A and B are shown apart, each in its own frame.
Chain A
Amino acid sequence: MTLASLTKPWEAMSYGFLDASAKRELRRKMLKAIAVPGCQMPYASREVPMARGWGTGGLQVTLTLLKPSSVVKVIDQGADDSVNAASIRSFLSKVSGATETWDTTEATILQSRHRIPEERLRADQVLVLQVPNPEPLRPVEPNMSVARQMHADADYGRLWLILYEQIVRSGRVMQGAAYPSLVNGRHVMTPSPIPRWDVPKLHMAQHLTFLSAGREKRLYAVPPFTRVEPLVFSDVPYQVEDHAALTCHRSGVSGYFMNEIPQDDGSSAFEVSDSHLGIKTIRQAEGAAIRIGPTWYENGKMPQ
């Protein structure tokens, strides 16, 4: 008998990069987060080969979810090909053997910064959102232990107060991205800096969403079929960005969230923000056998 036969062969790292105890802790917190939708769970954020603030929170959740048969899609502001998205995606496949994809309909795990894809997610898919600042009460309560008590008391009057004052001052709600939303009628969460356009996609969705902030060491979840209601006054309806009528200058699709591209002549062109939806549309038009999944918005409107 040799020593070598008693031990496992040398490996550069654990499966999925994080060691077993880190994953166990994260899984516990993820289960807790599912059990109390929208409630922030503290966790011990680990070192990953990426600087905090670049999606380390999302990355840790994704690493914990991965298995060899996973299919991962990573987007940054809707794009699969940005440097950050591409390097996270290749890191994920390298440490887990998971398959990489750009196609929303093929992915089993989607990690995203600031957008939710336009194609509807299904019950067998998990969305992981990277969150810079998980605390919706931060603008009204700088002391985080007081903020935690306010969550415990469901004391959200001051969040409404901010909206009230925006309407008083500007005639409308000015809150753009990261619109505070009530989850399951109990906890207010920051849905990460997704645009207002994307918030309704979380409401009663089929898929599970995790939101994780690595620097702030907090994660929370929206389980499938959970109410996610943006804070709105009964007489001032929630409004998504005015993008329904815009057309993508490259793919020709319209009725989706667009990126504004400033032109040399001072005007603006628009490009669909979910870049792979644009690619699929173009290839379909060219005659390729491409399947575009059902989208949340239809003709620029979200069916109720």
Chain B
Amino acid sequence: MIATETALALQAPQLMTTPPLLTMTGVSRRYGDVVALQDVSAMVYPGEVLGIVGESGSGKSTLLRMMNLEDTPDTGDYRLALPDLPGNLFDLDRFARRMLCATRIGIVYQNPHVGLLMQHTSSGNVAERLLIAGERSFAALRGRAREALDASEFPLERMDARPIELSGGMQQRVQLAKAIALEPVLLLLDEPTTGLDVSVQALVLDTLKRLQRDRAITMVIVSHDLGVIRTMADRVMVMRRGRVVEQGLADQIFQDPQHDYTQQLVHAKL
């Protein structure tokens, strides 16, 4: 078997007839001397879950931040198949980016301190999203925050507690509620269960799976835990040193890894 550091030819699943929701082409990003992303391309189809695995520092979080328009690459093109947003999303101005992020993309960070206002109430954290999108009715804010928290299987009797007072699993549920409150077309999850104990992790994954089933949300999930990726992802992208070294259907990657690095990864797990 030949191992190269270049990406294997990108093959869209054969039966896919709809165009991809997310298309990223040739994204590169350096931070000083560090090459965080090198010519990364990715596609995600509507309703699909793309899993991204890779060792620490391989650029997974950086890629997700690009998808959330928090950062701009040195080169690259990013499109979402939204009727009102043709063109490269990296060319949008700050204002348009912020609106797009707030209303069409949801994100759950590994570290809840990044994603949540810890000193505000949990329901308020969700309500803030709705406020940014222009909701100005108190009753509607309250009702929609409650719905989103409920959908994330957050215990509603604690909806006005501050995240700082909550357990890690509950904090992730608040982040999730905030992310899905505006019914985004794309949900980005950066190590959503890392740092949770195994039983809580399983519960959060259950919630994510259920959401995915009920709402057919398109998701991109990053994890260094192959178990998580195996449970969640339809397709998997393997990253190493800022490059995509392999990608394919989840089963294919797990059963028949092609790239050296992926083989090591899969075997280490087994």
Chain A residue at minimal CB-CB distance from B145: A164
Name which residue of chain B comes closest to A149, CB basis.
B94
Query: Considering the chains assembled together, what is the distance between the CA atoms of A157 and B139 in angstroms?
Result: 16
Q: A92 vs B142: C-alpha distance in the bound complex, in angstroms?
A: 52
Chain A window 140-160, contacts with chain B (Cβ cutoff 8 Å), 1 for yes, 0 for no:
000000000000111101101
Q: Does A25 contact B (CB under 8 A)?
A: no
Q: Which residues in window 83-128 of A have CB below 8 A to B?
A: none
Contact A155 B139 (CB under 8 A): no
A165 and B136: CB pair below 8 A?
no
Is there contact, CB below 8 Å, between A158 and B128? yes
Q: Given A164-B141, A235-B137, A157–B120 Cβ distance below 8 Å?
A: no
Asked if A157 meets B132 with Cβ closer than 8 Å, knowing A165-B121, A168-B123, the reply is: yes
Cβ of A168 and Cβ of B128 under 8 Å apart? no
Nearest CB in chain B to that of A167: its residue? B138
Chain A residues positioned under 8 Å from B139 (CB to CB): 235
Does A10 count as interface, using CB distance less than 8 angstroms? no
- Which of chain B's residues 79-134 have a Cβ closer than 8 Å to chain A? 94-95, 98, 117, 120-121, 123-124, 127-129, 131-132
Chain A residues whose CB sits within 8 angstroms of the CB of B138 once the complex forms:
164, 167, 233-236
Which residues between 12 and 70 of chain B lie within 8 Å of chain A, taking CB atoms?
none
Q: Is the CB of A157 within 8 A of B160?
A: no
Known: A164-B141, A165-B124, A168-B160. A157 touches B131 (CB 8 A): yes
Across the interface, which residues of A come within 8 angstroms of B117, CB to CB? 158, 161
Find the B residue at minimum CB distance from A232.
Answer: B136
Q: How far is the CA of A291 from the CA of B196 in the complex (A)?
A: 74
A164 touches B137 (CB 8 A): no
> Is A233 in contact with B98, judged by CB distance below 8 angstroms?
no
- Interface contact B137-A233, CB-CB below 8 Å: yes
Q: Is the CB of A161 within 8 A of B95?
A: no
Number of residues from B at the complex interface, CB < 8 A? 21
In the bound assembly, the distance between CA atoms of A182 and B142 in angstroms comes to: 23
Please give the number of chain A residues whose Cβ is less than 8 angstroms from any Cβ of chain B in the complex: 17
Whether B127 contacts A164 by the Cβ 8 Å rule is yes
What is the CA–CA distance of A154 and B94 in the complex, to the nearest angstrom?
11
Name the interface residues of A164-209: CB closer than 8 Å to any CB of B.
Answer: 164-165, 167-169
Q: What residues of chain B lie closer than 8 Å to A161, measured between beta carbons? A: 117, 120, 124, 127-128, 131
* Contact with B137, one of A153, A154, A234 (Cβ below 8 angstroms): A234
Chain A contacts of B121 at CB under 8 A?
A: 165, 168
Q: Which residues on A sit within 8 Å (CB–CB) of B124?
A: 161, 164-165, 168
| Given A165-B121, A168-B123, CB of A157 within 8 Å of CB of B128 | yes
CB pair A165 B137 closer than 8 Å: no
> Which of A153, A165, A234, A236 contacts B95 (CB under 8 A)?
A153
Cβ contacts under 8 Å, A158 to chain B: 117, 120, 128
A153 touches B131 (CB 8 A): no
Contact of A233 with B123 at beta-carbon distance under 8 Å, contacts A153-B94, A153-B95 already known: no
Partner of B131, one of A152, A160, A168, A236: A160
Q: Which residues of the other chain, A, contact B123 by a CB distance below 8 angstroms?
A: 168
The CA-CA distance from A97 to B129 in the complex, in Å, is 55
B160 to chain A: closest residue by CB: A168
Min distance, Cβ A80 to any Cβ of chain B, angstroms: 40
Extra inter-chain contacts (8) besides given A158-B120, A164-B127, A234-B138, CB under 8 Å: A153-B94, A161-B120, A161-B124, A161-B127, A165-B121, A167-B138, A234-B137, A235-B138
Instruction: Identify the 6 closest CB pairs spanning chains A and B, nearest first.
Output: A233-B138, A157-B131, A157-B132, A160-B131, A157-B128, A234-B136
Q: List 29 A-B residue pairs with CB atoms under 8 Å apart, sorted by A's residue number.
A: A152-B94, A153-B94, A157-B129, A157-B132, A158-B117, A158-B120, A158-B128, A160-B136, A161-B117, A161-B120, A161-B127, A161-B128, A164-B127, A164-B138, A164-B141, A165-B120, A167-B138, A168-B121, A168-B123, A168-B160, A169-B160, A233-B137, A233-B138, A233-B141, A234-B136, A234-B138, A235-B137, A235-B139, A235-B140
